[in-house]
Amino acid sequence: QKEVEQDPGPLSVPEGAIVSLNCTYSNSAFQYFMWYRQYSRKGPELLMYTYSSGNKEDGRFTAQVDKSSKYISLFIRDSQPSDSATYLCATLPPRGNQFYFGTGTSLTVIP
């Protein structure tokens, strides 16, 4: 079983829609969670970093961690064509030094 599982999509939504991107992780000890956005032929860009459970909001983006179900989500409100990219979830175990990444979800926002 992989440490992080992510639905690869692709996901296609109309502009203005709310987007939900999801990952599950295997180890209940994981406490640090990240979401990255990667445009084609570019390096991943850090969007959100959360510790433990709960929600974190930054503009149109909300990251949510549900430790009871080992589920992490990224919500994008009022999606824009510029949000079209691949989104990667990641986790870091406590006292760990290796990040575990999902395989990425490809998102297209249609104008």
Partner 1 sequence: KAGVTQTPRYLIKTRGQQVTLSCSPISGHRSVSWYQQTPGQGLQFLFEYFSETQRNKGNFPGRFSGRQFSNSRSEMNVSTLELGDSALYLCASSRGDETEAFFGQGTRLTVV
Residues near partner 1 (CB under 8 A) are: 32, 34, 36, 41-46, 49, 88, 90, 92, 94-99, 101-104
CA distances from 2 to 6, 42, 90, 99, 109 (A): 10, 25, 12, 13, 29
- Beta carbon of residue 20, minimum distance to partner 1 (angstroms, whole number): 20
Q: In the complex with partner 1, which residue's Cβ is closer, 17 or 32?
A: 32
CA distance 53 to 17: 26
Q: In the complex with partner 1, which residue's Cβ is closer, 42 or 77?
A: 42
Q: In the complex with partner 1, which residue's Cβ is closer, 19 or 34?
A: 34
CA distance 90 to 70: 13
